[in-house]
Amino acid sequence: MTTLTMAGALNAALRDALTEDEKVVVFGEDVGTLGGVFRVTDGLMRDFGDDRCFDTPLAESGIVGFAIGMAMSGYKPVVEMQFDAFAYPAFEQIVSHVAKLRNRTRGSLTAPMVIRIPFAGGIGGVEHHCDSSEAYYAHTPGLKVVAPSTVADAYSLMREAIADPDPVIFLEPKRLYFSKDDIELTKNEPIGTAVVRRPGTDVTVLAYGPTVSVALQAAEFAAEDGRSVEVVDLRLLSPFDDATVAASVRKTGRCVVVQEAQSFAGVGAEIAARVQERCFHHLHAPVLRVGGLDIPYPAPKLEHFHLPSADRVLDAIERLQWNDTPDLSTAVSV
């Protein structure tokens, strides 16, 4: 057991991967001497040399495009995008090339790499530092999209992401970077499964990344009202673990999806549709979504209006038609 922050766990994962596989290289903006603005790459350049961990020119498309070439030549790049909204210059390289190289070349060339993106808000950041961009990536075939919510998962998922033969978008919830836990540094199974964080029988709340703790808090409150809430941490958004999710919802018969991202056309919409397709006859109420407002990420003094809170999740749970007479007029998402 070691006590680590999430940033520390990610650092340990990178360290272990760099030690085990000489083809792993870490690069990006300020990842070398500084150790990254969130210190995730702290000390890696010092300990592994600037051949294995290095700073690049300040150019996101350049970083990802360069990583593609390195991957084609046999390396396993782990690159850092400094903040979510600063990954957009690299979007073309990610969707047109990283995601498609295997497909275009029938597997002759592939671009396995990990693109680390500090994401989402709740840290009082100024504009362009708090976007939830997961839907863009999850919508892109060929990419895997991962978001840890615990310190242990941050370590394990990062190890799995680096070992994975496919490119992985690794979304690191900024507000959890300095959350602490006692963990074993172990790898789990390959990327692919959601996990039940809190078992329950009355309603399933699906969450990922920064909203898992919100869901757990709502589950605590709901327990006081006598409702047993099961919280499932999705861990990965693509590929989606339909099996774990459907098993939970079939058991509870009710489902709320929580995401911090703006709601419209978000990942939550996809999840709600999948749950309805698979669990329709088990559902006592429509699947509800609790998401951010459909606005550009607000200024720090306003972000508490935007972010899904435990209260909002509780509200949604209460609107899940607990009486026998269904009232569809309440089936509106926040």
Report, as residue numbers or ranges, the catalytic residues: 129
Contact status: 76 vs other proteins (CB under 8 A): no
The two structure tokens encoding residue 221: 């409150």
CB of 81 to other proteins, least distance (A): 14
Residue located via tokens 């029988």: 201
Q: What is residue 196's DSSP assignment?
A: E
CB of 108 to other proteins, least distance (A): 5
Q: How far apart are CA 111 and CA 113, in angstroms?
A: 6
C-alpha distances in Å from residue 132, one per residue of 36, 87, 119, 240, 260: 20, 11, 6, 18, 7
Contact status: 142 vs other proteins (CB under 8 A): yes
Helix (H, G, I), strand (E, B) or coil at 41: coil
Bridge partners (DSSP) listed for residue 233: 195, 207
Binding to other proteins, residues 219-248 (CB under 8 A):
239-240, 242-243
Contact status: 105 vs other proteins (CB under 8 A): yes
Q: Which stretch binds other proteins (CB under 8 A): 32-40, 97-105, 179-187, 212-220?
A: 97-105
Among positions 16, 30, 37, 66, the unique one binding other proteins when judged by CB under 8 A: 66
Among positions 96, 296, 305, 318, the unique one binding other proteins when judged by CB under 8 A: 96
DSSP-assigned letters across all residues of 238-289:
ES--HHHHHHHHHHHS-EEEEEEEESTTSHHHHHHHHHHHHHGGG-SS--EE
Binding to other proteins, residues 267-326 (CB under 8 A):
none
Q: Would strands 229-233 and 195-198 be described as parallel, antiparallel, or unpaired?
A: antiparallel
The smaller minimum CB distance to other proteins, of residues 278 and 284, is found at 278
Among positions 61, 179, 188, 321, the unique one binding other proteins when judged by CB under 8 A: 61
Number of residues in contact with other proteins under rule CB under 8 A = 44
Residues in contact with other proteins by CB under 8 A are 51, 56-57, 59, 61-62, 64-75, 89, 92-93, 96-97, 100-110, 141-142, 144, 164-166, 239-240, 242-243
